[in-house]
Amino acid sequence: MARSTFFSHLVQVLAGTGRWLAPLSVVLVIVVLGSMQANYKISLAKPIKFIGHADEAGYVAMGESLADRGDLNVNYVSWFFIPYDKNITRREDHWPPFMGFAIAPFFMAYGQEPWVSKLAPIYIGSIGLPLAAAWLGYAFSRRGYVGIIAGLLMMTNITLFTESLKTLSDVATAMWLAAFCAAVIAARERPWIHLAAGVCIAGAYYAKGSEIILLGLYPLLAVLCFGVAVLWRKWIYLGALVAVLLMAPWWYSNWKLYGKPLHSTQNFVSGYMGLGDWESNTYRAYWGNDLPKTSDRWKVDERTGKVNEYYWRRTAEFREAAVRHAFFGDKAPPDFWRQWGQYGLMIRDWLDGEYREAKGLEQAKVAPITEWHNPRQTLPAAGAVLLIVSLIATLPLVLVVEGMKLLGRWRRWRKAKREDLEVLTTKPKREGLEALTTKPTREDLEVLTTNPSPHPTTPWLHGKTLAIVIVFVVHAVFLAYLWEAQLRFCFILFPLVAVLGVTFAARVIEFPVRTVMWAVRQAHWGAGLTARPRWLLHNWQAPVTVVVAFALLSDALPLSVRAQQHHADLGLRGYPYDDNTRHAILGGWIKKNLPHAIIMTRLPWQLRFYCAKTNKTVNQPYADALTIFSIAKYYGVTHIVDDNARYELETYFNGQRPGLKRVAGAPDQLFEIDYSVVPWRDANELLSPKTKTDIR
């Protein structure tokens, strides 16, 4: 009996530690390996003087402003959709602010150096996104080792590895989206995690404005994961309230400064993104007149009375690109579907209706596996391959298991009918419309939170899988029909595919393990040992996770350099783009010699970073010379840079027309503007917008 008491006590202790041992192991592995990878990335970024182009420089400018003044005001003009104040200084209204908030603390701690701006995306890509993917994997599968593998797939993905060296918000958006899905699923056992879901909604919105759609998806996903009864619990509403309260300051700022709570110049960009020429559409001098809008994408052709055929052709291409990028990475060329023979071409034709090469399906043959696209370098494909293989492998199992469940229900129904029972269980069960309209009892709500359903053998048939699929589909549809399916925009889909693939593959691998556990349970061990197989049966995931974590950490150094080696194999040993020092040199000269000048340049974000704090910059509009000089006069521009971007100014730069004087000693093509010679008019009169945009 003493031995039995000892083992029983030991089992109780182990059962208690099993709840936190697995998640702690997941966090430990991701943080240790991620920190090692982050140190390597920092060594790549330190020698770089280039802050990045356009979007990257814009996020850095917001971080600089927060570090200096505690606000998001920037000293440059990027676009000409609406006229800003002549003072130029304004709150950034194109790029969302999350990356600025992430960069600012590093600027305050280490100084405003180009490499310091990379620290935030480096840590987000090496630790933040892998942790979010690991949390989603653990919450979805309830297996720590699944979380570890999902996190490592993000960490070793060569595309994410490269992009996390840039100050863009796409990797951060993927992190927030994965964390949001994980929070919604995890809230079943701990309802207070709905508050974290609200934080993730706000974080995703501040990283990418389009993620406001999560606020609408939130109740739907919760219902799929918990059932309709969740709508009668306070936590989901508190989560939504947290999201709204966190986003409200930005909405108020938009309303106060620009007249609309959801104002963003990206709303205008959505009218032509992926459909028209970027330069002419984006940098045109709209000045509040005839602004593009989202509905322009499906504008009806007056001649045919149908939506523009080019739009449908492009959306078909975007559908195919979104699926290809999400499942197979950036190294899969558009025609890689051929390697799967007629099946691949059928998929391609289904995704892209304009792809008509599928007409030769009967002649198409599957390529040898040695010629297939190798997903080793772009590991989102690993999740996709695991997903596809596991679905095919477990299809017979799904049919058998679900068939047995249906058979069991039918037998219970027959038994109840024979015994003339009014109900099958001890309490009435509301179904159909009654379940949707009737408030659940206290017992229903207690069951909802205290007695979650056991881990399913076939998770794709259950609500949380459907929830992740819906998130995937909604974002893919948005990219295909309302935006553009560029590779970096598809990063948000990477953790979803990886988690589904790894989880389903784990289910396949676990099947023989479950069989062994069942056999152990059937073997009647002695009374003193009865508890041990019972505990092991329900908690074996925890020790398995610990073993996996120990194995990974013992081999931490090789694992941490795996992505680095792939990086080198691709010829990318170094930073992902050239260290362009042109603006650093020119900006340094302006800082020393013209500290109060206002410069017009095609790249105002980049040049501004290297200039003095008192310098301001203005973009060069895509317009004729009269309009360019009129806008320059409106903003008080004193100098202009020849960026070889506006042919309308070539005759002024080369001296054929008067008005521009080359600045002596400047290290670049810098000219001083003489407004007594160049043509200009009052910008508001010249552009004469029909409808002024409220820019209070």
What backbone phi and psi angles, to 5 degrees, belong to 684?
-65, -35
Query: Which residues fall within 8 angstroms of residue 285, CB to CB, at 6 or more apart?
Result: 80, 621, 622, 623, 627, 631, 687
Residue 558: Cβ-neighbour burial (10 angstroms; 0-12, 13-18, 19+):
exposed
Which whole number is the average pLDDT over 577-605?
A: 91
Q: Which two tokens stand for residue 506?
A: 């784990």
pLDDT at 402: 57
Residue 416: Cβ-neighbour burial (10 angstroms; 0-12, 13-18, 19+):
middle
- Residue that wins the pLDDT comparison between 503 and 589: 589
Residue 377: pLDDT band (50, 70, 90) is: very low
Q: Which domain holds residue 595?
A: 582-687
Residue 635 lies in a domain: yes
d(CA 580, CA 48): 9
Tens of pLDDT, residues 55-103: 999 999 999 999 999 999 999 999 999 999 999 999 999 999 999 999 9
Residue 337: pLDDT band (50, 70, 90) is: confident
pLDDT at 227: 84
Residue 339: pLDDT band (50, 70, 90) is: low
Q: Which two tokens stand for residue 85?
A: 């104040």
- Residue that wins the pLDDT comparison between 150 and 477: 477
Instruction: Summarize the chain as % helix, strand, coil (round to 5).
Output: 65, 5, 30
Tens of pLDDT, residues 471-526: 999 999 999 999 999 989 999 999 998 888 888 877 777 777 666 666 666 665 54
Residue 356 lies in a domain: no
Q: Is 341 left (phi over 0), alpha (psi -120 to 50) or beta?
A: left
d(CA 34, CA 553): 11
Residue 667 lies in a domain: yes
Residue 136: pLDDT band (50, 70, 90) is: very high
d(CA 206, CA 62): 13
Report CA 422 to chain centroid distance, whole Å: 51
Which whole number is the average pLDDT over 382-392?
A: 57
- Cβ of 350: how many Cβ atoms within 10 Å? 13
d(CA 411, CA 645): 77
pLDDT at 505: 77
pLDDT at 161: 84
pLDDT at 388: 61
Residue 613 lies in a domain: yes
Q: Tell me the residue length of the chain.
A: 696
pLDDT exceeds cutoff 70 at 110? yes
**How far, in Å, are 125, 621, 652, 660, 662 from residue 673 at the CA level?**
44, 16, 10, 5, 9
- Cβ of 173: how many Cβ atoms within 10 Å? 27
Residue 653 lies in a domain: yes
pLDDT exceeds cutoff 50 at 117? yes
Which of 9-23, 338-352, 617-631 holds the top average pLDDT? Answer: 617-631
For CA atoms 657, 660, 664, 667, the dihedral sign is negative
Q: DSSP state, 673?
A: E
Residue 559: pLDDT band (50, 70, 90) is: very low
Q: What percent of the chain has pLDDT over 90?
A: 48
- Cβ of 411: how many Cβ atoms within 10 Å? 10
Which of 175, 176, 174, 196 shows the shortest CA–CA distance to 185?
196
Which of 91-95, 362-366, 571-575 holds the top average pLDDT? Answer: 91-95
Which whole number is the average pLDDT over 596-601?
A: 97
**DSSP symbols for 214-261:** HHHHHHHHHHHHH-GGGGGSHHHHHHHHHHHHHHHHHHHHHHHHHS-T
pLDDT at 29: 85
pLDDT at 77: 97
Tens of pLDDT, residues 186-207: 998 899 999 999 999 999 999 9
Enclosing H/E stretch for 670: strand 670-673
pLDDT exceeds cutoff 60 at 46? yes
Q: Which amino acid is at 84?
A: Y
Question: In whole numbers, what is the pLDDT of the chain averaged over residues?
Answer: 79
**How far, in Å, are 76, 196, 309, 364, 492 from residue 184 at the CA level?**
40, 9, 40, 44, 17
Nearest 5°: the CA angle 232, 238, 241 is 125
d(CA 223, CA 205): 22
d(CA 369, CA 646): 50
Query: Which residues fall within 8 angstroms of residue 280, CB to CB, at 6 or more apart?
Result: 622
- Residue that wins the pLDDT comparison between 464 and 455: 464
3-state SS of 164-221 is: CCCCCCHHHHHHHHHHHHHHHHHCCCCHHHHHHHHHHHHHHHHHCHHHHHHHHHHHHH
User: Is there a contact between 598 and 87 (Cβ–Cβ < 8 Å)?
Assistant: no
Which of 10-19, 254-263, 461-470 holds the top average pLDDT? Answer: 254-263
Query: Which residues fall within 8 angstroms of residue 478, CB to CB, at 6 or more apart?
Result: 210, 213
Residue 319 lies in a domain: no
Residue 543: pLDDT band (50, 70, 90) is: low
User: Is there a contact between 151 and 137 (Cβ–Cβ < 8 Å)?
Assistant: yes
**DSSP symbols for 131-159:** HHHHHHHHHHH--HHHHHHHHHHHHS-HH
Residue 681 lies in a domain: yes
Residue 478 lies in a domain: no
- Number of folded domains that form the chain: 1
Report CA 427 to chain centroid distance, whole Å: 45
Q: Which two tokens stand for residue 433?
A: 């419309």
Q: What percent of the chain has pLDDT over 70?
A: 68
Tens of pLDDT, residues 408-458: 666 666 666 555 444 434 444 443 333 334 445 554 444 444 434 433 334
pLDDT at 302: 64
